[in-house]
Amino acid sequence: MASIKIDYKRELESASKGMILIHDPKLLIKLIVRSIVQKVQLEHAGMILYDAAKDVYVLAISKGRSGSRIPEGYVRFDKTNSLIRFFIEKEYKYLVANRNALVSEDINKLLWQESVISNGNGTKKLLHEVSDQMPKLNAVACVPAYHRHELLAILLLGQKHNGERFEQEELDFFSALASDVAMAIRNAELFEDLKREAERNRNLFIQTTIALGSAIEAKDAYTHGHTERVTKYALAIARQMEASGTVHFPPKFFENLYIAGLLHDIGKIGIPEAILTKKDKLTAEEYEIMKSHTTRGAEILSPLTGFEECIFGVKYHHEQYDGRGYPEGLKGEEIPMVASIIAVADAFDAMTTDRSYRKGLGKDVAIAEVVKFTGKQFNPKPAQALIDLFKKGEL
């Protein structure tokens, strides 16, 4: 069978580009091994991967002709295994430095190297053990994949269909490919670590959010229960908007809305208590100070990355659909939806809650006010969702 000429430089560039896009190491390696089997026309190819959690090396991927494949996960090696030792212990690495791989046909030559002969029986014994092991893995060549001198994987290459030996150009390609795979594996692991850390930080932040919400309520008697009710109304409004087909939110939106609802009045921590607890009507100057709780809240949260939507909800929940709100006089769709939803929920709770200077309105009266100011103060979409919830008796 005639050999197939492969442009290894182009293949390596193509594989490297693919690695950038794939964060799942198992999927990445599966695609690479399958591609090697098909393009180089091998009887078998596989990949042994290091499992850091268990501190063992596992045959993770095995592809090739029926009968040559090895059950994935079936073969496990600890660091005392001869093949693993050959690639992780410094005293043996020089034996394959020129070839960038251990090829079965080279082992007899290695056994007669002066350095092996002078090294006693230890190296010979190891080479004989590796030579016995490679056929069991259906491999005629083993290519190590390192990341900063740490062995992360071993690429197993089986016999070619045409029986030809591996040329040095091919071994160099597989070595470069293995190095790229090692880098991709490490990057994927770091990506997963970052995701876990972000999730841990997010959970910690949510817990801190609840504590901050309690701090707000402790400072302003009016807010007692207010943040919890506004959050509850806001989430119900968003779900009703989805149920009616008005809008579709990504899953993360509801978590951001929950956080923004709990923190929408966090800026009141910076407002003097004399203004917060004043029973009489606020002066124009005091009202301006009170209004600043929106921007103060956004400033408090500004150091947090990844919570921009939450900050929008805090900063803009007093903007009005007709542009007469604050702090920036945003209008219509300029106002982030998270803020528009909180604005409706906040106003509804404010109208139906008892204040020191007035009794709270009945829910039917408050809904009539929402209807009256839909398209003016309120975005029609969340306003209609609140109205629908009232009609269904779910408020």
In tens digits, the chain (395 residues) has pLDDT values of 445 566 656 665 565 555 555 566 677 777 778 888 888 888 998 889 888 889 999 998 888 888 788 888 788 999 999 999 999 988 887 888 778 889 998 888 888 876 666 666 688 888 999 999 999 999 999 999 888 788 988 999 999 988 888 888 888 888 888 877 777 777 777 777 767 776 777 777 667 766 766 666 666 655 567 888 999 999 999 999 999 998 999 988 998 999 899 889 888 877 887 787 777 888 999 999 999 999 998 988 887 777 889 999 999 999 999 999 999 999 999 999 999 999 999 999 999 987 766 788 999 999 999 999 999 999 999 999 999 999 999 88
Instruction: Tell me, yes or no, if the two domains 8-191 and 220-391 fold the same way.
Output: no
CB atoms within 10 A of CB 318: 17
What ranges do the domains of the chain cover? 8-191, 220-391
Contact 113, 95 (CB under 8 A): yes
CATH architecture of the domain with residue range 220-391: Orthogonal Bundle (1.10)
Whether 158 and 138 have beta carbons less than 8 Å apart is answered as yes
Cα–Cα dist 133/142, whole Å: 11
* CATH classification for the domain delimited by 8-191, as one of 3.30.450.40, 3.40.640.10, 3.40.50.720, 3.40.50.1820: 3.30.450.40
Q: The sheet that has 102-103: what strands, in order across it?
A: 76-77, 56-64, 44-51, 150-157, 141-147, 102-103
